[in-house]
Structure 1
C-alpha cells in the first residue's frame, strides 16, 4: 500500500477544489492506498508569510511530504497560475522534498483558458523539487463540479471519467498495491 499525501492549495473553506480532492481521496483509498489530506489553508498564515521553517505546522507538513510515496497537488487557478498559499507552502519545503515521489497535479477553474496552468506554472515547480515522476495532470471546470446542500459532490460524467483515468495512471505509477496477508489467501 502506498501512502498518498493529498495537498489542497485552496485558500477557501467552501472550495470546489478542496471538495474535489476529498472526493478523489476516497477513490484512491478504495484502490488500497493510505491517503492523508492536508489543506494548506489550515497552516497558520504567520508561518507561511513569515517563512517560519521551524513552526510546528511547517515541520508537520514537511514530515507528511517526506512520509508520502505520492502526492496529489490540487489548486484553483488564479491569474493563470496556482494559488499563492500553495506557492507559500512549496517555498517552505526542502528544495528536493519531492525526490523519489510520484506527483499528480490537478487544477480547477472557471474557464478552459487556464488549462495550461498545470503544465506551465505548476509542473516546473514540482519537477524542480525533485519529483521522480509527474504524471499527466487534469484541469476540471468549476461548472463540472456540483456541491449539493448535503455536502455531497457530483462531477460531470466526462470530467469524472477523465479524473478516473488520471487517478488510475497515478495509482499505477505508485506501484502495485499489496493486499493484507488474510485478503490475499484463497478461500
Structure 2
C-alpha cells in the first residue's frame, strides 16, 4: 500500500496527481496505478479555462466518506469561496489547516488562510470557481481540478506598502487542489496548484 502522506510531503504532490488520474482512467487502485503504464484517456477534455465543460458526475463506487469529501469541496468552491462566506470555511478546513501555495510557501492556521483568500478578492471582487472538471477521492485524499476566474478591477497590494493599479483584465486559470481529510470531515492539509506565469500574463502584470 502506498503511504499517501509521504508521497505528498516528499515533494511528490504532482506525482500523486498523476497516479490519481491514472487510477481513475484505468479503474485500478492508486497502488496499481503506480506500477501500471498509463492508458490513453478515452474522452479527452478541452482546456476548461477557455472552453467551459460541465461538472461530471461523482466517480462510481465511492465510500460514504469519499463522496462526502467531494460534496464538501464542491460547496467550498462554488458557494463558500465564490461568495466569500469566510465564516463557513471551517466546514471544510481544520482550525490548524496547513495550506501549501503555488509559489512553494505554506501557512498554518485557519485565520491566516482566510486572510490570504480575502487578499484575492481585494483586487478582484468577482473571483469565483464554478466548475470542477475532475473530482477524485481515495480514502482520506481528494484531488480536484477547477477553473478560477475574476477581473483585476481594484488596486493590488504590491507587498512593499504600495499598490498596483488595476488593468481591468479578466483571468481564467486552471487550478488543482489536493486535500488530506481527517476523521472530523475537514482538511488538515491542502495543496494548491496553478501556473502563476499564466495568471500574471492574463491580468497584465507579465
**TM value normalised by structure 2:** 0.25
- Normalized per residue, the structure richer in strand is 2
* Larger RCO of the pair (alpha carbons < 8 Å, separation 6+): 1
The normalised TM-score by structure 1 is 0.26
